[in-house]
């Protein structure tokens, strides 16, 4: 047998330097993210093949555990039925075990759970770990709004980029073409690594140096999507819906720049901005539930509609609208953002769905916009 020229030390170093990826979350979008990532880790030498996916354990009607079914069938039968995941996706119901070896953490859970998840992970992750958030939403604290990427960075002491875009998960799952935007702070090299991890021929990813702009676009568009759903539920037509989307984009941009003056105008023309707003107002879950809410005259709660229509997925827009309202109220900005304010007042039952077009009488009070 011919002697090998391979240096065992060099091989060991290469293995040690390979990045390990864990996806924290396994809902609809989390499962699709794992599918995208796992297809790339098999083909890019700088990543370990295996992609861990933390699963919040559930018992299915059959009596089986969700994580066990995912690993046996390579399919998330509850949140992404009918789509096969690559065999290198490993579902893990133990979050500490799922993250312990990973140096690239992908967070994709409902935003209201993130603070608790991050606190559980203190001291449990690698010192060289970096993160990316695919989460739309914010935490509202006494000192003001806290973006999820900032929450992750502050609690875990790690760098955190964001990925947002016109990304309805079920369409990406069947490999229909779409785009996304990675937002980063200073380290372009890390941003480019995230781009390599997610980018595929049907999922085109680009990077911009504007974390807050990218993240706020992904967060605030869900509030506008509720407004678009109310318009659809009341059969107000395409002209009205287009007007609501335009006004919503204007309020998104104005609030983003008031909260974070560093936000760049060009970010709103990336996939995370106008493209995400359009697709969410045409086909997202927030629009669908708001449509049903309006058709029922506001008499059925969003909690009830979420349970009935989303099969365990969470509706982000209603909680985000409440959080945005709290920020506006605290800062005395309610009259500057009549669309955002009205959406929350409809969701909370203070106004009828038809009020979504009645607020325009206040439009003269928008000097900042």
d(CA 109, CA 212): 19
Cα of 347 vs its chain's centroid, Å = 21
Among residues 136, 193, 221, 241, the one annotated as catalytic is 221
- 314 catalytic per annotation: no
Residues 18, 42 contacting (CB under 8 angstroms): no
Which residues are catalytic, by number? Answer: 221
């Amino acid at each position: 047998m011919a002697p090998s020229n391979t240096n065992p030390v060099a091989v060991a170093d290469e293995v040690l330097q390979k990045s390990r990826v864990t996806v924290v979350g396994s809902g609809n979008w989390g499962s699709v993210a794992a599918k995208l990532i796992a297809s790339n880790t098999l083909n890019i030498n700088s990543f370990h093949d295996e992609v861990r996916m933390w699963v919040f354990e559930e018992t299915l009607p059959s009596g089986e555990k969700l994580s066990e079914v995912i690993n046996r069938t390579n399919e998330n039968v509850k949140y992404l039925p009918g789509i096969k995941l690559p065999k290198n996706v490993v579902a893990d119901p133990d979050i500490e075990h799922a993250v312990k070896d990973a140096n690239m953490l992908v967070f994709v859970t409902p935003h209201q759970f993130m603070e608790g998840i991050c606190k559980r992970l203190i001291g449990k992750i690698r010192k060289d770990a970096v993160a990316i958030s695919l989460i739309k939403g914010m935490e509202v604290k006494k000192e003001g709004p806290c973006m999820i990427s900032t929450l992750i960075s502050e609690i875990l002491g790690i760098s955190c980029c964001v990925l947002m875009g016109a990304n309805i998960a079920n369409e990406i799952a069947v490999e229909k073409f779409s785009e996304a935007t990675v937002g980063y702070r200073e380290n372009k090299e890390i941003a480019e690594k995230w781009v390599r991890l997610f980018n595929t021929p049907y999922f085109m990813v680009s990077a911009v140096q504007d974390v807050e702009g990218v993240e706020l676009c992904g967060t605030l568009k869900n509030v506008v999507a509720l407004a678009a759903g109310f318009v659809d539920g009341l059969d107000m037509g395409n002209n009205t819906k287009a007007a609501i989307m335009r006004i919503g984009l204007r309020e998104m941009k104005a609030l983003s720049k008031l909260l974070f003056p560093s936000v760049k105008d060009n970010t709103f023309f990336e996939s995370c901005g106008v493209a995400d707003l359009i697709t969410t107002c045409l086909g997202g879950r927030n629009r669908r539930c708001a449509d049903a809410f309006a058709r029922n005259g506001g008499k059925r709660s969003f909690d009830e509609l979420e349970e009935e229509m989303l099969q365990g997925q969470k509706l982000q827009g209603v909680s985000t609208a409440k959080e945005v309202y709290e920020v506006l109220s605290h800062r005395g900005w309610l009259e500057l953002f009549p669309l955002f304010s009205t959406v929350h007042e409809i969701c909370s039952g203070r106004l009828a769905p038809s009020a979504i077009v009645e607020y325009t009488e206040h439009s003269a009070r928008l000097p900042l916009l």
